[in-house]
Amino acid sequence: MAKSKTIYSCTECGGQSPKWQGQCPHCQAWNTLVESVAETASNNRFATLAGVNAERGQVLNLSKVKTQDIPRQPTGIGEFDRVLGGGLVSGGVVLIGGDPGIGKSTMLLQALCAISASSSVLYVSGEESPQQIAMRANRLTLDTHDVKLLAEIELEKIVATLSAEKPQVAVIDSIQTIYSAALTSAPGSVAQVRECAAHLTRFAKSTATTIVLVGHVTKEGALAGPRVLEHMVDTVLYFEGDTHSSFRLIRAVKNRFGAVNEIGVFAMTEKGLREVTNPSAMFLSTHSANVPGSCVMVTQEGTRPLLVEIQALVDEAHMNPKRLSVGLEQNRLAMLLAVLHRHAGIACFDQDVFINAVGGVKIDEPGADLAVLLAIVSSLKNKPLPIKHVVFGEIGLAGEVRPVQRGQERLKEAAKLGFTHAIIPKGNKPKQKIDGIEIIAVERVEQAVEAMRG
């Protein structure tokens, strides 16, 4: 028997190489080439390109295409619907990724049970047996009378079952376990994941079936498999959170039918995932008195403003000073310390600086700069910030405090939660007074430090 020819495929871009290399020659990513079996080309691979048996496509005038509101299918979980943009879309394909044990299968089983009351659903399990899924449903006390279950990993059988059952919503758990008999490579390989996802996506679009794909993630937290997987689907969601904590976040990083960077907040309980109605309370610590190094900021996650406590600990360094940031960008911390020294005259070159965002939330926006800077000054000087103060603003290298987006919504959220003072960029100062909160507008870093002291 002839030995199968192997190739090396990039997990980032899907590019192929005849031999292993440390760096992908296509996208220049390091250590992303994995071995797989080379697939044989079909005999008529280029037939359509040559014009054989090809039909002319229908060309439309864009101005004459009629548009209509996209109907939504509520999932019965309000926070999940928020991230999806209002609910599931007919014919849409959703990809959900997250660490093992984070709660992906639990949430989808809860959603399917709620949807089954009004629509036909199918749960395709490639990792768990029907008995395991039934045990989870019993533990969560879910009504599963109208939920259909299929334990299968062969793509052709799954598609045939979907065609016969005609469910309105189908869950594939997970895409890495599905394989196509047309390919010789193993399940989970780049070729199999890409081909199976493409077939399921085409089936969803042609039959108006909503398909939810569950995806594994790498140790870096990115979706496993080729990056083209994210381009095929309509919506990409990520589960975030520490498995040792009861809180979970689900974030939309791509959504063709809604806003991106929306988040849903959940708490993991014995009865499954429960929605958190006031997520700001989850990210605020409860101190009996004001403590140095604590500063509350308002971050913007999609259309939702959230109050998050930023904590800083500045301590004398006995050897090389350490810089550690949890939940915030590490490189930005070094920049803020340099700006603080240059423009406010406060040096931390002989101090260890540790920054933490309470609750395990990850903040990517630069609007956290001013809160981080004031928390550092508060810890260094051992002086708490005034009570009921909230802060947001971006810091520039020239020492200016730059405005951020949606400043009005941030201030209204802070006022609603009882905060009475806000240190904000001058560019975000509202034209009309917001009841219950006093605005302190600053233009420079040194002004913000003085406002904190007084």
CA angle 414, 417, 422 (to 5 degrees): 30
Q: Whole-angstrom Cα distance, residue 440 to residue 391?
A: 10
Report which of 125, 132, 170, 131 is spatially closest to residue 152, judged by C-alpha positions.
Answer: 125
| pLDDT recorded at residue 173 | 92
Cβ(110)–Cβ(121) below 8 Å: no
CA terminus-to-terminus distance, the chain: 83
Report which of 231, 116, 244 is spatially closest to residue 171, judged by C-alpha positions.
Answer: 116
Q: Whole-angstrom Cα distance, residue 400 to residue 353?
A: 22
Q: Is 299 exposed, middle or buried (0-12, 13-18, 19+ CB in 10 A)?
A: buried
Cβ(126)–Cβ(105) below 8 Å: no
Cβ(372)–Cβ(309) below 8 Å: no
Q: Whole-angstrom Cα distance, residue 293 to residue 197?
A: 48
Q: Whole-angstrom Cα distance, residue 8 to residue 27?
A: 14
| pLDDT recorded at residue 1 | 41
Q: Is the Cα dihedral 218, 98, 192, 28 positive or negative? A: negative
**Pair of tokens at residue 151:** 């334990």
Q: Is 309 exposed, middle or buried (0-12, 13-18, 19+ CB in 10 A)?
A: buried
| pLDDT recorded at residue 73 | 92
In tens digits, the chain (454 residues) has pLDDT values of: 445 577 888 877 778 888 888 999 988 888 888 777 666 655 554 444 444 556 788 898 998 888 877 889 999 999 999 999 999 999 999 999 988 888 899 999 999 999 999 999 999 999 999 999 999 999 999 999 999 999 999 999 999 999 999 999 999 998 999 999 888 778 888 888 888 999 999 999 999 999 999 988 876 667 766 667 888 999 999 988 776 677 888 989 999 988 887 888 898 888 888 988 778 877 776 666 778 999 999 998 877 888 999 999 999 988 889 999 998 988 899 999 999 999 999 999 899 999 999 877 888 889 999 999 999 999 999 999 888 899 999 999 999 999 999 899 999 989 988 899 999 999 999 988 898 899 999 999 999 999 887 6
Query: Which residue shows structure tokens 């190739």?
Result: 7
Q: Whole-angstrom Cα distance, residue 237 to residue 240?
A: 10
Q: Is 229 exposed, middle or buried (0-12, 13-18, 19+ CB in 10 A)?
A: buried
Helical ranges in 180-271 per DSSP H:
190-207, 228-232
CA angle 183, 189, 190 (to 5 degrees): 95
Write the CA distances from 271 to 110, 123, 140, integer angstroms.
Answer: 10, 20, 5
- Helix 190-207 crosses helix 155-165 at what angle (to 10 degrees)? 10
Q: Whole-angstrom Cα distance, residue 139 to residue 131?
A: 12
| pLDDT recorded at residue 101 | 84
| pLDDT recorded at residue 126 | 92
Q: Is the Cα dihedral 32, 36, 40, 44 positive or negative? A: negative
Q: Which residues of 38-49 are buried (b: 16+ CB within 10 A; e: fewer)?
A: beeeeeeeeeee
Q: 3-class SS at 126?
A: coil
Q: Whole-angstrom Cα distance, residue 283 to residue 265?
A: 11
Model-level pTM? 0.76
